[in-house]
């Protein structure tokens, strides 16, 4: 497990975008060998997506041979709705890069059979060779995707009824009208993300500080589903200083020290 601490949100976003860029470049994807990337939505990854778009426009990277799988989608929300995760991904990322639309996979919350949709999604990931790098964000309660507190840590893609706290938190995107907020979603499971060869979790802001503490300083706990990634062989938590407010001083010093040791190795690749 690795914790990378940057001064602020912008630097954390830039670091994450450079890491994704470099992993794709080093993979050398081709028509015979696609790089498979798991992606989140929300406010946290927005800055990372902006930087990736910049890298594409400057010719530093192509997404022609990249396949993406998003974490989740609301049930019953029209795909064209401005708050659907389809709309989020296309407006904020996909339409600005050269990815083939057929290679950008997002769960269909309007499928006739939601269970079959979830099973098919797992199958598509398997057929793509699994996820090379799964990027995720978390909520203040430590949930990843819609794997809310109490979710199984070996869960797979499935239909989830959203907790009241999640519905209330999301109301700000729906004019603060609780009646307009979807009450169900399709989500990859914790086990689905754990299957990825590498996981990168983005955690920024003081409101996520307690969740980061639970994620790395306490044991694995299904009430804080992000803590499961302590057990992944290749997990990187990328955060800003504000998100470290609940961590022990010695924890912050330790990880900053290890990052300084890694900096000379990564200096050429993360520029």
- Active centre residues (catalytic): 72, 141, 143, 148
Distance CA 14, CA 112 (A): 39
* CA atoms in the 13 A half-sphere facing the CB of 157: 26
Helical segments of 145-221, H only: 164-170, 190-194, 209-216
Measure Cα distances from 167 to 33, 41, 49, 179 in Å: 40, 16, 25, 9
Contact between residue 47 and residue 75 where contact means Cβ atoms under 8 Å apart: no
| Total residues found in the chain within this entry | 271
Q: How far is CA 71 from the centre of its chain?
A: 7
CB contact burial 165-199 (16+ within 10 A = b; e otherwise):
ebeeebeeebeeeeeebbbbbbbbbbbbbbbbebb
Contact between residue 69 and residue 127 where contact means Cβ atoms under 8 Å apart: no
């Amino acid at each position: 497990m690795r914790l990378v601490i940057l001064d602020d949100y912008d630097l954390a976003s830039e670091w994450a975008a450079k890491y994704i860029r470099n992993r794709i470049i080093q993979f050398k994807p081709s028509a015979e060998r696609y790089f498979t990337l798991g992606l989140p939505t929300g406010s946290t990854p927005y800055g990372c997506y902006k930087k990736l778009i910049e890298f594409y426009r400057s010719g530093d990277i192509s997404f022609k041979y990249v396949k993406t799988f998003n974490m989740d989608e609301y049930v019953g929300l029209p795909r064209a709705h401005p708050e659907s995760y389809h709309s989020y991904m296309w407006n904020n990322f996909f339409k600005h890069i050269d990815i083939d639309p057929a290679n950008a996979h997002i769960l269909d919350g309007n499928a006739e059979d939601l269970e079959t949709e979830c099973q098919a999604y797992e199958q598509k990931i398997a057929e793509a060779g699994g996820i090379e790098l799964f990027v995720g964000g978390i909520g203040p309660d430590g949930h990843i995707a819609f794997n809310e507190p109490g979710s199984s840590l070996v869960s797979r893609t499935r239909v989830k009824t959203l907790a009241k706290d999640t519905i209330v938190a999301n109301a700000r995107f729906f004019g603060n009208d609780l009646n307009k907020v979807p009450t169900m979603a399709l989500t990859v499971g914790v086990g689905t993300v754990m299957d990825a060869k590498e996981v990168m979790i983005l955690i920024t802001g003081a409101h996520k500080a307690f969740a980061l503490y639970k994620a790395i300083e306490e044991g694995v706990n299904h009430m804080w589903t992000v803590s499961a990634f302590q057990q992944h062989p290749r997990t990187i938590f990328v955060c800003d200083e504000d998100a470290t407010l609940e961590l022990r001083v010695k924890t912050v010093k330790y990880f900053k020290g290890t990052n300084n040791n890694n900096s000379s190795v990564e200096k050429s690749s993360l520029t």
